[in-house]
Amino acid sequence: MEKNLLNKVSIITGASTGIGRATALALAKRGSHVVINFLKSKKEALDVGEKVESLGIKSLVIQGDVGIERDVKDMVKETIEEFGRIDILVNNAGSPIQRSKFLDCKEELWDQVMSVNLKGTFLCSKEVLKIMVKQKSGKIINISSIASFHGSAGESVHYAAAKGGVNSLTIGLAKEFAPYGITVNAIAPGLIDTPFHDKFSTPERLERIISKIPLKRIGTPGEIAEVVAFLASDGANYITGEIIRVSGGR
């Protein structure tokens, strides 16, 4: 595999499992040093770090809540102290917390979902962009969801609304920071085989969704990670402000 990200420095939030884990390994295989952010899954995050190091790449495992400004500032500070720069930010951390019909969605749940999905993307982007502006280079890739397009009515409208905010933030940042040589894009995954669905989806629900996917299968975290890796590469230098659906045609 071509080392097209050799000596780049990447921060990936929520990198202990699923899409985040696959992304950390995909970027490391291309030569990027990787900062692995996690909230609760310490054992899994350390395992990702070990796998990255086995490739001859440096890793930094940092616990922190992306919805808390102090945690984000500390993560960015520690990254700069270790590597001296930040080239790539993947805002992957996200969760619906729990499925809920809209009238059953309590204010606390709404705030939690906005914090991890939208506020976290805002805080991480803000701190990292301070560094990227000085460098006059950088790439931000946000992980959205196809729920942002169809609303996820009746089960997770709070999550869909937060991801819709991520889409708008992506486009706005792309326009504002283009003069600094910084690109900002988002990926909207469809149904992907991650621990997310072990927690939030029944087998019946998965079967129902798969039946509506033109490619008739669930996607893999690696397939999302490959798109992240492309957007992080020089091959995507003229792509910014895009929301790329990776959903098997759903």
* Residue 131, number of CB atoms within 10 A of its CB: 18
What one-letter code names the amino acid at 217?
Answer: R
Sign of the dihedral through C-alpha 74, 164, 186, 53: positive
| 238 is an active site residue | no
> Among 159, 162, 177, 231, which one carries the catalytic annotation?
159
d(CA 21, CA 52): 10
Contacts (Cβ under 8 Å, ≥6 apart) of 86: 9, 10, 11, 76, 79, 80, 128, 131, 132, 135, 138
Residue 188 contacts residue 244 (beta carbons within 8 Å)? yes
Contacts (Cβ under 8 Å, ≥6 apart) of 205: none
Residue 117 contacts residue 105 (beta carbons within 8 Å)? no
Residue 60 contacts residue 82 (beta carbons within 8 Å)? yes
What is the rounded end-to-end Cα distance, in angstroms, of the chain?
30
Query: Which residues does the annotation mark as catalytic?
Result: 159
